Structure 1
């Protein structure tokens, strides 16, 4: 696919899903200590989606292909694992900014190999799941914050992260319709 139509940058504040869930994708917040298991459960879905012949095809010019979504989830695992480490190692750290839309363009998500991405996503998901599994009961309350001032505890951060992953599973598995 060579359509380089720009994707509209995401600017919605999704922190509401921590408490309210997400009606769009059906996400229901659960205990933070289930994050590792729930993250691992997405890997077979990603492998199946990335093995489809249309894995690199955008369903619309301004909607990411399954491969682009998978690249984003792979990188989200890596970035959030780093942020989790900051929260566990430092007192109330401020997370470095990450422009996910710029990363998608700079790393050419559109043209990455789906099979390679499937393996990389699985590796990053497992490492991130293990990092969340290792959080001790006392650590779930440790704080951290985004540069925009949004404050998280490790527990709320885990729920926020998991929604991102599960929402994108919904994005790539929901039936598409043509009008």
Structure 2
């Protein structure tokens, strides 16, 4: 059954510590971001080796498989958003169900990428029916590719701006932190629920 949609605006994690996963934006250096993403992606991928990886703990919570498929797509989407932010223009995006790759440039010359409804994508891509081993491999690859993309950004580029269509303003640096929290948070979600069932 579908999970209740998450309509929260998570940009607050750029200003204060996340009480759920412990992510503290003030202690995260840009240089540490790729390593954190790689470690969290690896932990999520490893969770798919478990025999119950495709089983939801309850009707309102994703299975480890669904979380991992979501984070794989998060990595792909944020690589695309980083490309948009660095170039200030529309760029080819990943073919993900429910993801709008369109970009407009506002009157200030700032690129604006479309908001993303993760719940629409989860249904369109049928996360729960995907193969755990394939998702694990794709997640590792996407985590590595996106980590390298953020690593390639020179210090002088990190203040380049972009907007989300709901009005949220990002720079390369804040986009990186926002993205990293998403990956770290979901790795924590899966580990916490795994610990509760063992």
TM-score (norm 2): 0.84
Please show how residues 114-153 of structure 1 align to structure 2 within 5 Å.
114-153=132-171
For 2:48 and 2:182, how far apart are their aligned partners in 1? 18
Deviations 1:100-125 (Å, cap 9, x if unpaired)? Answer: 10110011001111111000000100
Q: 1:39 aligns with which of 27, 37, 41?
A: 37
Q: 1:72 aligns with which of 58, 70, 73?
A: 70
Q: 1:155 aligns with which of 173, 178, 193?
A: 173
SS at match of 1:127: helix
Equivalent residues of 1:33, 1:132 under 8 A apart = no
For 1:22, the equivalent position in structure 2 comes to 18
1:52: Cα distance to partner?
A: 0.5
Equivalent residues of 2:41, 2:187 under 8 A apart = no
For 1:41 and 1:6, how far apart are their aligned partners in 2? 29
Q: Are residues 1:52 and 2:50 paired?
A: yes
1:133: Cα distance to partner?
A: 0.2
Runs of at least 4 residues off by over 2 Å:
none
Equivalent residues of 1:39, 1:165 under 8 A apart = yes
For 2:126 and 2:14, how far apart are their aligned partners in 1? 30
For 1:84, the equivalent position in structure 2 comes to 82
1:96: Cα distance to partner?
A: 2.1
Equivalent residues of 1:55, 1:67 under 8 A apart = yes
For 2:15 and 2:76, how far apart are their aligned partners in 1? 24
1:153: Cα distance to partner?
A: 0.8
Q: How many corresponding residue pairs?
A: 174
TM-score (norm 1): 0.93
Deviations 1:65-118 (Å, cap 9, x if unpaired)? Answer: 000000000000000100000000015211123221011001100111111100
Mark the runs of 5 or more structure 2 residues left unpaired by the alignment.
89-108
Q: Are residues 1:176 and 2:185 paired?
A: no
- Quote the RMSD (CA, aligned, Å): 1.4
